[in-house]
Amino acid sequence: MRVQRAVVVPLPDRDDGRPGVIRTILMIEPLRPTSGATADDLAHQLHEIRGRTRQLTEDLSTDQLMGPMLPIVNPVLWEIGHVGWFHEYWTLRHAHGEAPLIERADRLWNSSTVAHDTRWDLDLPDRNGVFGYMSDVLNRQTDRLGGGVSESARYFYELGIRHEDMHVEALAYMRQTLGYRRPDGLSDAGRTAGPWPGDVSVPGGRWRLGSTPADGFVFDNEKWAHEITVAPFRIAAAPVTNAEFAAFVEAGGYRVREFWSSHGWAWRERVGADRPVYWQQRDGDRWTWRRYAEVDELAPHAPVMFVNWYEAEAWCRWAKRRLPTEAEWEAAALGEPAPDGSRLADVKRRWPWGDAPPTREHANIGLAHNGPLDVAACAAGDSAFGCRQMIGNVWEWTASDFVPFAGFAADPYEDYSQPWFNTRKVLRGGAWATSARLANPRYRNFFTPDRNDVIAGFRTCAL
């Protein structure tokens, strides 16, 4: 049970069955930075992300809305009710002081107190009841926002929107995990851009890792930017591709003990892995894989995805490479060279390509496509050092453990980061199913190293 709980989905639930840790009353509410979004912006974002939630769930059958009890998924019916509850809890109840819409809502949907394995056995409302509850909450939020929004309330609206962003991504990969049919209304990714091989050089120097109040809404684990020293390094211009990963599989890499750490080998032995989880068979020089409920050809030049940290680590040992630290990842994404090229300049970009908000030319995010593009795509999104696709396509595992920055203090949603420090690895950059609000280059995602159900790949550094 303890071991199982350790792999229970850490994001977006962050649930660990710890009771009473979300504070409902704050005597002094400090101002927290926000994006500065207007009330109209917030209402628009709420409706837009709810459209995604519905798009990924409304076509599911009653059985699929419950689904099998697995440590890495939630019942969909529970999960979407929980999304509505989270909005209600932090905005209508916490920020505005309203009474609960459903009396037993906390007992059903508080992920901090409702143990994961019990979520299949709750007296949840039926499909219409859950969707109706979500709509009721959204309508009340919309009404409230019609009267404007205070700075302190804005923080909680932004928290709820990002929380729904996380669950939208989780719903997308849940459909892959459970082999449900591909979601309607999403366009397939183009497959013509090809490979993007080679390394780029990043000079060493001082780097300010983390976020600042000027970055707008930030999660507690990003606080605050602090200076560190980075040694010069060489990093791949693009993530590892399916073709590059296939070479490791075909070389028997899953059977060679020396490529694996002891924990990685123990995972491999436990699950019997001899290839990435959804890969099926080799046909000539092409592999097939299970994509949703179908079998598809594996795109050779798309980034490998649905590999866990152990598989990334083993590939690196085989290829005589290594994973970047999260500081290296951030410097490669957001740094610029000093004029003489000898060190990192005292500059930190907002996005790899500069200040402009992301477009489809920069990054494959926000379910613009139903899958990853080839690694040579999105040239307009290159960093100053020539790293492509630092944002979007696939999350990238880093070498770094998920640890608090110095001076860490939990934000009101106390279970967001704190319970998971030191047991997760950091991922950066966002995936094709990640919203632009989370696929920002300062956001620290985190999962246990055995998770191969999340939309993660990796890029590597030269030794």
Residues that bind Fe ion (CB under 5 A): 12-13
Shortest Cβ 161–Fe ion spacing (Å): 13
Which SS3 state, helix, strand or coil, does residue 297 take? strand
Nearer to Fe ion, 159 or 367 (CB): 159
Shortest Cβ 13–Fe ion spacing (Å): 5
Residue 289's beta-bridge partner residues?
279, 296
Shortest Cβ 439–Fe ion spacing (Å): 18
Is the CB of residue 331 less than 8 Å from the CB of residue 344? Answer: yes
d(CA 324, CA 390): 12
Shortest Cβ 236–Fe ion spacing (Å): 33
Nearer to Fe ion, 166 or 200 (CB): 166
d(CA 410, CA 416): 8
d(CA 380, CA 366): 17
Mapped to the 3 state alphabet, what secondary structure does 321-352 carry?
EECCCHHHHHHHHHCCECCCCCCECCCCCCEC
Nearer to Fe ion, 22 or 200 (CB): 22
Shortest Cβ 47–Fe ion spacing (Å): 19
DSSP string, 12-33: TT-----TT-S-S--SS-----
Is the CB of residue 382 less than 8 Å from the CB of residue 238? Answer: no
d(CA 315, CA 27): 51
349, 317, 319: which is closest to 335 by C-alpha? 349
Nearer to Fe ion, 170 or 332 (CB): 170
Residue number of the CB atom closest to Fe ion: 12
Shortest Cβ 9–Fe ion spacing (Å): 9
Nearer to Fe ion, 170 or 390 (CB): 170
Nearer to Fe ion, 15 or 326 (CB): 15
Helices 127-145 and 76-87: angle between axes, nearest 10 degrees = 20
Shortest Cβ 122–Fe ion spacing (Å): 15
Shortest Cβ 111–Fe ion spacing (Å): 5
Nearer to Fe ion, 13 or 382 (CB): 13
Nearer to Fe ion, 155 or 259 (CB): 155
Q: Sign of the C-alpha dihedral, residues 26, 29, 35, 41?
A: positive
